[in-house]
Structure 1
Amino acid sequence: MRRGYHSAMHSIAPAARAALLAALVSLVACATRAPQTPPPHDPSRADTPLLLISIDSFRASYLELGLTPNLQRIADQGVRAQWINPSYPTQTFPNHYTLVTGLRPDHHGVIHNTMRDPDLGRFRVSDPNAIGETRWWDGGEPIWIGAQNAGLRGATMLWPGGEAPVRGQHANRSRAFDPKITEIARVEQVLEWLGEPATTRPHVTALYFDSLDKESHDYGPNSPQARAAMQRIDSALGHLTDALAARGELDRVNLIVVSDHGMAEVPVGQRMAVEDIVTPQQAVVTSVGQSIGVAPNPGFEAEVEKRLLGRHDHYQCWRKGELPARWHYGTHPRIPAIVCQMDEGWDAIEGEVLKKSPKNQTRGSHGYDPALPSMRAIFIARGPAFRQGATIPAFDNIDVYPLLARLLGIKPAKNDGDIAPLLPALKDQGAQKK
């Protein structure tokens, strides 16, 4: 994950080498858990802010519903992809960290929304102590940290993984996740940051919207509640672009809108207790929902394998090293010995939770096979770097990160992505700078 400074030192002039060494010493000195003071502005850098926005669970096909005119306007004024292929598992935290690191979950280590680590214990997205623990996140270098290491400034607005220090650094500006912050309030905060003088304004900002995901889970992706959330988010995007335009800044910002994955409908009666898959006596279930992690208890390994491996009525199970190769998943130590994947439209949750859940309510879920159309995510971009009116073929979400690094003019950290599928979206389609 290192940036290769040592190999480049011998080709740098002595004065520049001294300056670079001074910068490195400064970076080491700043590697603490406290929020970082923004570095001084470098007037020699291109000063085009980059704004990355995620709409959690916005399925690629939603753009055709006619409910999001502001998002459609951004697409018409710029570039869209047919869709983005999410990474496995198609969960929120793994894919949001993939988008900003270019690493698949199997490599950055945020392998599920719920996971276990022998040293760190249990991770749940509802646990603020786990969310803020740096060691869950240190397997990747998010774009705002890479920017700050290069002397730029980064900001995160509720982005999953954005409130933890990573490799000793917080984002220069950061707001922790709070579902009570409205869509408009989130946009107003970002507008405030972008309205600062060039000496303090963030170079890269990551903004997150979650309400579509919540309403889709509770009522289903085709529900009036989900559609209303979609429209609220779209209105917030309209407020954002209108405000930037009024300030004469809209065409000076590279704006990218993505989602982490799509959403599928879970009909009434298609939820089962995870204890019916494997009993607590036999194994610890490290994650539930759609991608089920199973760690057999000592002495039960053979019994659990016999019970689980292979095809079942509504799910299929594999040893971690034998999962489908196209998922690129199964080597990280946090992945348990057996993984079971639910069929589209089926959930497996704890029995106690299932008992308390509404019995006659259609719901929504993600976490299914990334190849399913319902799991496809969006990519839309406009700004000085992007062509207008172009549609590019689908690509994997690991490819977003090298694009972000290119737009910022920084050397990307080690990643799994490839900028080639995104070059047709750019006005300047030359090879990426090394």
Structure 2
Amino acid sequence: MKKLLALILLLAAQSVLARPAAPLILISIDGFRADYLERGVTPHLSALAARGVRAQAMRPSFPSLTFPNHYTLVTGLRPDHHGLVGNVIIDPAIPERHFLIRDKQAVLDRRWWDQGVPVWVTAEQHGLRSASVFWPGSEADIQGVRPTLAPPYDDEMTPEQRVDLLLSWLDLPQQQWDFLSLYFSHVDHAGHDYGPVAEQTMAAIAQADQAIGRLLAGLQQRGIQANLVVVADHGMAAVSPQRVIRLDQLAPEGSYEQVVDGPYAGLDPAAGRAAELEAALLKPWPHMQCWRKQDIPARLAYGRNARVPALICLAEPGWSIVFSAEQAAKVHGGRHGYDPAAPEMAALCIAAGPGLRSGMLLPAFDNVDVYPLLMHLLALPPLATDGQLTPWLPALR
């Protein structure tokens, strides 16, 4: 029994101390459309893709929004399964608070996140060390666990400052990192304000590329050979106030409660008025289709979670669904949230490092397939997910 106990303790110690062959850095450039890489302003990203692996496109999950897809990337679960079903969420089990991405207290509340288990939680549970520069969810104690380092989100911090913060962590004495994540927001901001083809958006894309170059140079100076995975959560489509659908003009007054508007809209019927609201919306409409949550097409993998509103309406790319004239007047620039199959929603995905082959172009795949790659590169057992490692197998060393 003593020998058996000693063997168990030895194996347990090895499982804790075993580390991946190279550190893994996951980088998100929010709103970086797949075809932005063809605009001629991304020399560092293009060079990274040339010496690594690039996907022709990566399809986001529905709804193609920031928080749902960032959580999908690190859990491998569709929003319907990990619970972050939108940027605005109403949960009958959490009646005292709605989830809003700008509500600090809501973002810190683990109840919104605990239906999924992100990479950094599993890493920390296996004795690895993780750190995050602003990845959505990293501020909450999901499953009671947080990254070793994860400062509060600061949208004013420039891309260069975010890179420098991550590099400073690599210089900490007596600290070895296994999984780091880095989030850039400014390309998405520019896309929203000016649209996906505007000069200002091109400048933001170029700035993101320079930040990637700064990170690569910093890693080289420190002699760190890391596996890098650079992704986006979604693309961007041009919109205008001339392409709007007014639900307040289609549905009877007082028959619904608004949850979310934009490329898709979520509504809950007012008490006793479900049949009336459905009769008004569940019919063919130009540039929009509406469904009961249980009737949403299977390809969208959405509608089973209790947090999904009772009715979902989805606009054609470029169109916006609003609830008032005031909202219609504010539609400008670019938006996302459309059908993930729309080319405008296709997202960037590049991977490079010692664990990956060079010069490979992979066919388009779904973003749920990123999580299995992350777990493979970390040599961690993946949890049950909606993704698979299969699309990556030709690219792995």
Query: Could you say what secondary structure the match of 1:161 adopts?
Result: coil
1:154–1:79 CA distance, 2 compared to 1 (3 A): same
Please tell me whether residue 165 in structure 1 is matched to residue 141 in structure 2.
Answer: yes
Q: Aligned Cα RMSD in Å?
A: 2.1
Give the aligned partner of residue 395 of structure 2: 425
1:392 is aligned to 2:368: no
- Per-residue deviation, residues 315-349 of structure 1 (Å, max 9, x unmatched): 11011111111111110000121111011101123
Deviation at 1:95, TM superposition (A): 0.4
Write the distance in 1 (CA, Å) between the matches of 2:162 and 2:272.
51
User: Structure 1 residues 79 and 182 mapped into 2: Cα distance closer, same or farther (>3 Å)?
Assistant: same
Give the Cα–Cα distance (whole angstroms) in 1 for the partners of residues 83 and 10 of structure 2: 34
1:265 Cα deviation (Å)? 0.6
Cα drift, residue 225 of structure 1? 1.3
Count of aligned pairs: 393
Contiguous gaps of at least 5 residues in structure 2:
none
- Partner residue, 1:7: none
2:341 corresponds in structure 1 to: 371
Per the TM alignment, residue 195 of structure 1 is displaced from its structure 2 partner at its CA by 2.9
Residue-by-residue CA offset, 1:381-425 (whole Å, 9 max, x unaligned): 111001011111111111110111111111112211100111111
Which deviations, in whole Å up to 9, do the C-alpha atoms of 1:340-362 show, x marking residues without a partner?
1011101123427527637xxx4
- Asked if residue 333 in structure 1 is aligned to residue 303 in structure 2, the reply is no
- 1:52 is matched with 26
Kindly report structure 1 stretches of 4+ aligned residues shifted beyond 6 Å: none
Gaps of 5+ in 1: 1-11, 24-39, 428-434
Aligned to 2:115: 139
Aligned mate of 1:346, from 319, 344, 356: 319
Are 2:43 and 1:69 aligned? yes
Identity of aligned residues (%): 44
TM-score (norm 2): 0.94
Cα gap change, 1:211 to 1:278, in 2 (>3 Å): farther
Q: Deviations over 1:249-282 (max 9, x none)?
A: 2xx1001100011101113412344433435611
Aligned to 2:260: 287
Confirm or deny that 1:127 pairs with 2:103: yes
* Secondary structure, aligned partner of 1:173: coil
Map of 1:107 onto structure 2:
81
Is residue 248 of structure 1 aligned with residue 223 of structure 2?
A: yes
> Match for 1:86 among 44, 60, 64?
60
Name the counterpart of 1:415.
Answer: 385
Structure 1 residue 169: Cα displacement: 1.3
- Which of 268, 272, 287 matches 1:314? 287
- The residue identity in structure 2 corresponding to 1:422 is W
Please report the TM-score for the alignment, with normalisation by the length of structure 1.
0.86
Return closer, same or farther for 1:340/1:356 CA change in 2, 3 Å cut-off: closer
Query: Could you tell me how far apart the structure 2 residues matched to 1:202 and 1:41 are?
Result: 16
Aligned CA distance change for structure 1 residues 341 and 383 (closer, same or farther; 3 Å): same
> Aligned match of 2:157 in 181, 187, 211?
181
Residue number among 184, 204, 216 corresponding to 1:209 in the alignment? 184
Change (3 A) 1:401 1:280: farther
Paired with 1:335 and 1:42, the residues of 2 have a C-alpha distance of 39
Amino acid at match of 1:374: E
